[in-house]
A and B are shown apart, each in its own frame.
Chain A
Amino acid sequence: MSSLLTVARMLSHGGSRAERTRARLMAAGAMLATWFLLGAANVLALRGRLNEWLGPASDPGTRRGTALALGLLILPVAAFLHQVSRLASADRERRLCALRLAGATPAQVRLLGGLETTRSALIGTVAGAASYVLLQSAARSLLLDPGSPADVAVPPLLCAAAMAIVIVTAAVSGLLSGRQVVATPLGVTLRTARRRPRRYVRWLGLPAGLIVIVVLSGAGVLPLTRPITTVLAGAMLLTIGLLLSPSSLVRLSARVAGGRARSAETLLAARALQADPRPWGRTLSVVGLAVTIGSVAGWEQAEILATRRATEPFWLSSFILVDLALLVGIAVAGSALFVHHAEYLLENGPMLATLQAAGTPETALRRVLTRQALIAATPVCTLAALLGVLPLGASAAVRPNVWYLWPLPHALLMAGLGVAAAILAATCSRRRLHRSVSPVRLRTE
């Protein structure tokens, strides 16, 4: 084991640029996950009624729901990490072969892969916990008078548990992802290369949707006092949304766009999406979930404003906090798209450099990236917003006192934010694109 650690250390020194980026992004993801988990633990540790501006965290009754919502922010982080783990896979595979050639057993190679992931997770988690505890204690001493019931630290046990969760999850997923590659000394074969999801996986959507509803209402996030039909309709539509997996929606959208493409940019974008819609589907399902929840929240907000004429701090800050959490979710998922662009550019660098050498302007290649974002994100976000708006809209028609002017623009705004995040990710990839099409990439070994 210790000799394996030595090899791991040697390898991490000699890693390529892309591999170092991968390790850093993994650590960043682990850090984010740690923050959200510690935040949730922190909310759970609060006692008694607190200042209403703390929103749902101020009331013991909504505290568990708040913690759960914070915990749910792990979802976009998971999507991000999954994308990161695919980064630089070509480099990694080449290295795995070299290791096998040098006499490592398949199990050792797999263990090395797991070690790398665990190392990044460890660094990220420790940095995350340290920065959280520091910032939080600074905030407490600056903002709160000692003796305030909000003046609580994260209990050490919960803190350790949160860190352990992140590290163990990373270690296990690192080991499991190694299970799919079979590194022989002669080359890597993916044992289950790009396997299509099994038929039954599609049907998991139904129970999953129901479980989500039950858990959410149990945790006090969804008021069960609402007409039961609303909840049922919502559950059904959510389930349909989960069934219509975004990957197939992205593929469909790409096929239509590719068929009608008038320009080279659209054609290239659509065909690239059609060939590999899964990373987009995965990420956009998280974005879509945030858009749906945001649209539902819009109705919720309108109804509360209308029925209570409430401008109470509790509700106002609840609204703001929920929207903020959704925004964070969308942003994190959007950065997963950024990572996907990096992988796409890494893989297709020589091809794009050749197009550029043949006289294709770089601006046209940039448009390929933004069009990918548009083609993939627009249908998913639109559907997600509709899913959030329709069932509650139907039930609100029975109760005409709901203020319509808010929920519809709110849903539209959420969908727009989802698409904007995808386009922003494409825009942020420009510098990387510029590097990928440099003539240096034309060299053949």
Chain B
Amino acid sequence: MNTLEARQVEKAFGRTHALRGLSAKIEPGEIVAITGPSGSGKSTLLHCLSGIMRPETGEVHYAGERIDTLDEAARTKLRREHFGIVFQFGRLVPELTAVENVALPLLFDGHGREEATTVARAWLEEAGAADVADARPAELSGGQLQRVAVARALITSPKVIFADEPTGALDSVAGERVLSLLLGAARVNSATVVIVTHDNRVAAYADREIVLRDGVTAGEVMA
């Protein structure tokens, strides 16, 4: 099964030890919130779990396979086919319209433009952003940007969704909408969700909360 696991992971940036021997196990279909004070290593953990970064020591396993030893090309392929990733600021391509942005992962996968656009429109509809499908990122509000970014992450039906403070820049109403979109789609696909947040209300949606402090787990809270 698609279990995600970090074992004794360490990662340093120069003299800053972001992670110091951290272990965590996330079961398939689980919704896990990673919380902790700023600078405690939440983002770094997310980057290591999703194969964006390689830890210096320790192991990262996904679906029974060790992924931190894979080369960049293999990890890229893994991320494209199994993971969906959302960051705090949507970071959409500024020159492309919303629907083109959402279609990108399919286009990169070699699907035709028409097909990719059709699917992208459907996802935008799902995300409640159909009305801005042909607008460019600069014309969108923060909440709309984030919903488009979530649609882009979901279009490949990922097995695991990683989100780093996806509601951090939004007011509570917009944040709520983004979150329910993300979790709703995850439930339908029975996908795993790993969500970094410092918002207690977001953490309340999770099955489990992993609290970090100074690069190690400081505790766990079960829902």
The chain A residues found within 8 Å of chain B, CB to CB, are 261-264, 267-268, 271-272, 274-275, 348, 350-351, 354-362, 364, 439, 442-444
Question: Of the candidates B73, B78, B84, B91, which one forms a contact with A351 in the assembled complex, judged by CB atoms under 8 Å apart?
Answer: B91
A442-B47, A442-B87, A444-B89 as given contacts; A274 in contact with B113, CB under 8 Å: no
Chain A nearest CB, measured from B155 CB (Å): 10
Q: Which residues of B contact A275 (CB under 8 A)?
A: 94-95
Q: Which residues of B contact A358 (CB under 8 A)?
A: 79-80, 83-85, 105, 152-153
Chain B nearest CB, measured from A180 CB (Å): 21
Complex Cα distance, B112 from A73, in Å, reads 46
Q: Which residues of A contact B165 (CB under 8 A)?
A: 444
A271-B93, A271-B96, A354-B87 as given contacts; A359 in contact with B105, CB under 8 Å: yes
Range of interface residues on chain B?
35 or more
Q: Which residues of A contact B91 (CB under 8 A)?
A: 350-351, 354
Q: Which residues of A contact B78 (CB under 8 A)?
A: 359
Chain B nearest CB, measured from A319 CB (Å): 44
Complex Cα distance, B79 from A418, in Å, reads 38
Contact in complex: A361, B73 (CB < 8 Å): yes
Contact in complex: B104, A264 (CB < 8 Å): yes
State which residues 65-95 of B face A: CB under 8 Å. Answer: 72-73, 76-81, 83-85, 87-89, 91-95
Contact in complex: B47, A261 (CB < 8 Å): no
Complex Cα distance, B94 from A275, in Å, reads 9
Chain B nearest CB, measured from A276 CB (Å): 8
Complex Cα distance, B198 from A262, in Å, reads 41
Q: Which residues of B contact A271 (CB under 8 A)?
A: 93, 95-96, 100
Q: Which of B47, B104, B108 has the most CB of A within 10 A?
A: B108
Q: Which residues of A contact B95 (CB under 8 A)?
A: 268, 271-272, 274-275
Q: Which residues of B contact A267 (CB under 8 A)?
A: 96, 100, 104, 107, 113
Q: Which residues of A contact B92 (CB under 8 A)?
A: 351
Complex Cα distance, B76 from A355, in Å, reads 10
Chain B nearest CB, measured from A87 CB (Å): 19
Complex Cα distance, B104 from A227, in Å, reads 57
Residues 162-190 of B, flagged 1 when their CB comes within 8 A of A and 0 if not, give 00010000000000000000000000000
Q: Which residues of A contact B88 (CB under 8 A)?
A: 444
A261-B113, A271-B96, A359-B77 as given contacts; A442 in contact with B108, CB under 8 Å: no
Q: Which residues of B contact A362 (CB under 8 A)?
A: 72, 76
